[in-house]
Structure 1
Amino acid sequence: MRLSTIALVALLAAGCAAPHDDAADAPSTDSPATATSTPDAASSDSEPARTTVPAQFQGEYATDTRACNSPAHESRLTIGAWRIKFHESSGAIVAVESGRNALTITAELTGEGKTREATYRFNLSDDGQILTDRDSGMKRQRC
């Protein structure tokens, strides 16, 4: 009986020292992203690319004041540090490229029962109040 107790204690202790699991290092959707995207040619090989949206781009946007006052308006867009949310889809941001007033976001979006990866390109006005989608031309004001 004593040998069984010692064996049980040894097994429990071994379970606490489980091998390293790379999946545990992946960022969750509720915590800051720590993954890196591919560095661009201008950065050094040892410098990771950013996956956090710069503060000047973060916020809530919609086409006009009335849309800003309607949380369910189809033009609503929320850009957070690590997540992006549209009217019918949202998800984790997996890559970010930014310049002074330009932002490119790649995100894993889930909506309407489907998951997809999408890339969005935005320009922010000099005063930080108008966000323009460079692909569609849609302009949204900061709410």
Structure 2
Amino acid sequence: MKIIAAIAALLLPLQLSAGHPAATVPDRFVGHWAGSPGSCDAHIDDLILRIAPNHISYWESEGPIEAVVVRGDEIALISELSGEGETWLATAKFTLSADGRRLIDRTSAPGRELVRHRCASAGGARSANSFRPVPLRGIA
């Protein structure tokens, strides 16, 4: 809860509205991220994350990024996620490692850090601009 309040306080002066262009994520945070370097091409890694300049996609949800705050190698995002027939506002805070190869997620599992690794490619048959989840095997 403290994280949400802190992010909201940082974003209060931005006065976002539907008429303004979407927030933009700096290039160094943009990419395809996975739970381990070996799972970049796997379609079963539930830690897969794709960050585009103004869109974010998790394992089972995705949506436009509405607000971005960057402080050094830390980024805080507010996005409007959709998944399983629902839509909600979500906050996320990430820290990029000094070498740019790891993205530490401090919000998905409270009290725990989730480390994702930068993938060299878009992974599998998906293009670098694809943000649609791949269905599980055997499900059409």
- The bucket for the TM-score relative to the shorter chain is 0.5 to 0.7
Which structure would you say has the larger Rg?
1
- Relative CO higher for 1 or 2, CA cutoff 8 Å, sep ≥ 6? 2
Q: What's the CA shift string for 1:27-81, capped at 9, x where partnerless?
A: xxxxxxxxxx6436xxxxxxx9x81001100001011123211134211000000
Partner of 1:53: 25
Q: Which runs of 4+ in 1 moved over 6 A?
A: none
Matched, 1:39 2:6: no
Aligned to 1:133: 105
Larger relative helix fraction? 1
Structure 2 counterpart of 1:73: 45
Q: Which residue identity lines up with residue 123 of structure 1 in the other structure?
A: T
- Across the aligned residues of Structure 1 and Structure 2, the Cα RMSD in angstroms comes to 2.1
Q: Unaligned stretches of 5+ in structure 1?
A: 1-36, 41-47
Give the aligned residue type for 1:142: R
> Which residue is 2:118 aligned to?
142
Alpha-carbon distance in 2 for matches of 1:121, 1:80: 15
Out of 54, 77, 81, the residue aligned to residue 105 of structure 1 is 77
State how many pairs are aligned: 100
TM-score under structure 2 normalisation?
Answer: 0.66
2:88 counterpart residue number: 116
> In percent, how many aligned pairs have the same letter?
36
Q: Distance in 1 between matches of 2:71 and 2:78?
A: 15
Q: Residue 67 of structure 2 aligns to a residue in which SS?
A: strand
The residue number in structure 2 matching 1:91 is 63
Q: Is this contact kept in 1: 2:23–2:54, CA < 8 A?
A: yes
TM-score (norm 1): 0.64
